[in-house]
Amino acid sequence: MIKKQEYSLAEVSRLLSESQHRLIYLCEKGVVVPDFGNASGRGSSRRFSARNLLEFAIALKFRELMIPAAIIGAVLYVLRKFETAVKKEMPGFSLPDGLRMKKSPVLRIVFLDGPKLYFQIGPHHGSSKTFGGLDLGQLVSSRQDNREPVKDTLSGFAWTNLEASGDKMLGEIARLEVNVTRIAQNLPLSE
């Protein structure tokens, strides 16, 4: 189990081999919200959790794929809600700890035609459970308007029974997938 530790911006920058400037940008755009304190003026500092490190790593991967910050922020917001849903199915599950153990489930963030957002979780081999079908445009606009996305857009976002063939959902034309488990396992956190 990973120790619950706080990380400074400088530590996160060093651990992820990323410039502080880029990390600050992600915070200022609301993509990553520090779990232990946000900078609120001169002399204050942001403090981050291991989950925040995972969020930064996911955000940086999506930025490499040219995904806009507003969409990344919406995806990470929903990822936190997804974690709550998974805890009902897998008691004790938490991010990133639940993805860093031996025989961890494989968690993927999937964008399909539309764009629709899904999360798939399951064993390394075998069938995965799918959660989602959220319209990203609705979520992004609700976050930008400062409305409560849970009421407006997440009400129908639940476990879904999509037809699946192995790892591929049928009927898709476009698909973008990010393996969150692999990102979590590559985080340079002490055990």
Q: What is the mean pLDDT of residues 93-104?
A: 91
CA-based max dimension of the chain: 54
Any idea which residue has 């400062």 for tokens?
A: 146
Residue 191 is predicted with a pLDDT of 60
Task: Look at 45-54, 137-146, 166-175 and tell me which has the smallest mean pLDDT.
Answer: 166-175
| CA 190 to centroid of chain Cα atoms | 21
Distance CA 31, CA 29 (A): 6
Task: Look at 45-59, 114-128, 172-186 and tell me which has the smallest mean pLDDT.
Answer: 114-128
How many alpha carbons fall within 13 Å on the CB side of residue 86? 25
Residue 175 is predicted with a pLDDT of 83
Q: In terms of Cα–Cα distance, which of 151, 159, 137 is closest to 74?
A: 137
- Per-residue pLDDT reduced to its tens digit, 70-89: 999 999 988 988 888 888 87
Q: What is the pTM (predicted TM-score) of this model? A: 0.85
